[in-house]
Copies of this chain bind each other. A is one copy, B any other.
Amino acid sequence: MLPFSTLLPINKASAMPVYQQIANGLIGLIRDGVIKPGASLPGSREMAQLLQVHRKTIVAAYQELFTQDWITTIPRKGVIVSERLPEIKPRTFKAAAKIPAYAGNTGFTFNKIGSYPGAPARPGEHRLIINDGFPDYRIGPVDLLIREYRSLFHSPAVKHYAAYGGMAGPLSLRNELTQFLTETRGLNIGPQNVLLTHGAQMAIYIAARLILQPGATVLVGEPNYFMADMIFQQFGAKLVRIPLDENGIDVDAIARICRQKKPALLYIIPHHHHPTTVTLSADRRMKLLELIRRYRLPVIEDDYDYDFHYSGGPILPLASADHEGNVIYIGSLAKSLATFVRVGYMIAPEHFINEAALMRRMIDIRSDNLLEEALAVLFRNGDMQRHLKKSVKLYHDRRNHFCNLLEQELKGIVQFQQPAGGMAVWAQFHKKHPLPAISARAAAKGLLISNGSAYSYGTVNHNALRMGFASLNEKEQQEAIAILKTVV
């Protein structure tokens, strides 16, 4: 006989009646295979003795099991566990909740994805946050976006938005983007060249999935946007790091590699490179375009904050020149409004977009198309365009103010080049001031700032970070730098 007194612990202090505890315990034992279908259970008198309870309690427990079809009573054989088991009903949830099936590791081994080069920041009690280079959600038409969203939800068209995923995203927003990208970037495209994604990161992942094979060589900057590196590596690619200077990536180094063996992919951020913010010079662009055409070199051009350029006009993307279909162009609307507005896009030849749309569906079957439709309305009415114009002016001032503060308050501690655009300064701290210590001490004073680990590769310790200036007004910038000054 099973050791029922051990298997069926009773808690008389519990709010659950004892008979119910016993019934649930028995169901658990049956379900877990400890008691098999067809097995006999002790009679009510015997079980009462084993569990040190009144016989009426056992009778009630058995009655419960009988009602739920877990047991049958056969004359002269006693209580038998049903051969055909009943559905497991909600009333047994408390029993199920005892099984710690998720407490340990998996029963099987699984693939490791990689390691994250620095834990992401955790929410805390920080008064101030120096982020990676995010927009200021306070200055944009987020309220308007929410209003449009709500109004679309109450429109008759919502019937269609709720039913259809659409392969590449709603045509309305793809049309608006086509026009916007043509006007601002000189791209010569139609909506068939646009895939909407849940942020630019997804567009990079999808493009890499279509381009790479395991063992492929991918050229990236040194340093590079680390989440792109991780994508390429988890697809089994080998990264070759190309040096950068104040004019951007070293195109001659790319040419030398191409002459030896054509790489599978070049990932490039020509406009305000992430993390260093340098911009690829015009002559290097020309040379690079020539290489791209000559070698049919697949390129992902990540142009995540093209719209924010302060020193002169922005530089046209590679995608706007003649690249013979080799440049996959990626951008984001999250950078224009707020990080939580998750809409990115990929521009590519139609055949590539079709395949990419299938991949998008596979990893993310549909978007919040009400949100995408609402964004299309904001473009159509010119609200986005007006907002961008306003932000460029404001961020320009904030960049100047922030760089002046760095220059005045942290001279000799922080080295940086004023970026021509974007939302962050690439700030290299002097070796005497290691960032992990600064970050910890700043946190204690209510300022959240990266410890720089995300920008260090292998043995290279840049002791640097991106300091986002766009999301802080001048007063906040002053407070943040004042805290930094006290902790270095």
A→B interface (CB under 8 Å): 31-33, 37, 84-108, 110-114, 116, 119-123, 126, 129, 131, 134, 137, 142-143, 146, 149-150, 153, 158-167, 182-189, 193, 198-199, 201-202, 205, 209-213, 227, 230-231, 234, 281-283, 285-286, 289-290, 292-293, 296-298, 312-316, 319-327, 338-342, 347-352, 355, 358-359, 361-371, 448, 471
**A and B contact pairs by CB, cutoff 8 A, 21 listed:** A33-B286, A85-B286, A89-B312, A89-B316, A92-B316, A93-B185, A97-B188, A102-B187, A103-B188, A104-B325, A105-B349, A107-B323, A108-B211, A108-B297, A111-B209, A113-B209, A146-B150, A340-B371, A342-B364, A363-B364, A368-B368
Q: What is the bound-complex CA distance between A95 and B188, given in angstroms?
A: 10
Residues B102 and A363 in contact, CB atoms below 8 Å apart: no
* Choice from B86, B162, B285 contacting A282 with Cβ under 8 Å: B86
* Choice from B92, B102, B166, B361 contacting A186 with Cβ under 8 Å: B92
What's the dominant secondary structure at chain A's contact region?
A: loop
* Choice from B123, B186, B350 contacting A94 with Cβ under 8 Å: B186
Residues A165 and B366 in contact, CB atoms below 8 Å apart: no
Query: Residues of B contacting A114 with CB < 8 Å?
Result: 358
**Number of copies of this chain that the complex holds:** 2
Within the complex, what minimum Cβ distance (angstroms) separates A43 from chain B?
A: 25
Residues B93 and A321 in contact, CB atoms below 8 Å apart: no
Asked, given contacts A189-B102, A342-B366, whether A165 binds B120 with beta carbons under 8 Å apart, the answer is yes
Within the complex, what minimum Cβ distance (angstroms) separates A419 from chain B?
A: 15
Residues A199 and B364 in contact, CB atoms below 8 Å apart: yes
Query: Residues of B contacting A293 with CB < 8 Å?
Result: 33, 107
Within the complex, what minimum Cβ distance (angstroms) separates A109 from chain B?
A: 9
The closest CB in chain B to the CB of A132 belongs to B163
Residues B227 and A365 in contact, CB atoms below 8 Å apart: yes
Residues A113 and B366 in contact, CB atoms below 8 Å apart: no
Query: Residues of B contacting A313 with CB < 8 Å?
Result: 87, 89-91
Query: Residues of B contacting A91 with CB < 8 Å?
Result: 313
Residues A163 and B131 in contact, CB atoms below 8 Å apart: yes
Residues B286 and A87 in contact, CB atoms below 8 Å apart: no
Asked, given contacts A98-B188, A111-B210, A165-B120, whether A340 binds B362 with beta carbons under 8 Å apart, the answer is no
Within the complex, what minimum Cβ distance (angstroms) separates A339 from chain B?
A: 5
Residues B366 and A363 in contact, CB atoms below 8 Å apart: no
Query: Residues of B contacting A362 with CB < 8 Å?
Result: 113, 201, 205, 227, 230-231, 234
Query: Residues of B contacting A32 with CB < 8 Å?
Result: 321-322
Q: What is the bound-complex CA distance between A308 and B113, given in angstroms?
A: 35
Residues A106 and B325 in contact, CB atoms below 8 Å apart: yes
Asked, given contacts A363-B363, A365-B199, whether A101 binds B183 with beta carbons under 8 Å apart, the answer is no
* Choice from B37, B142, B162, B350 contacting A339 with Cβ under 8 Å: B162
Residues B205 and A349 in contact, CB atoms below 8 Å apart: no
Query: Residues of B contacting A213 with CB < 8 Å?
Result: 111
* Choice from B93, B119, B321 contacting A316 with Cβ under 8 Å: B93
Within the complex, what minimum Cβ distance (angstroms) separates A338 from chain B?
A: 6
Residues B163 and A448 in contact, CB atoms below 8 Å apart: yes
Residues A108 and B205 in contact, CB atoms below 8 Å apart: no
Query: Residues of B contacting A322 with CB < 8 Å?
Result: 31-32, 99, 101
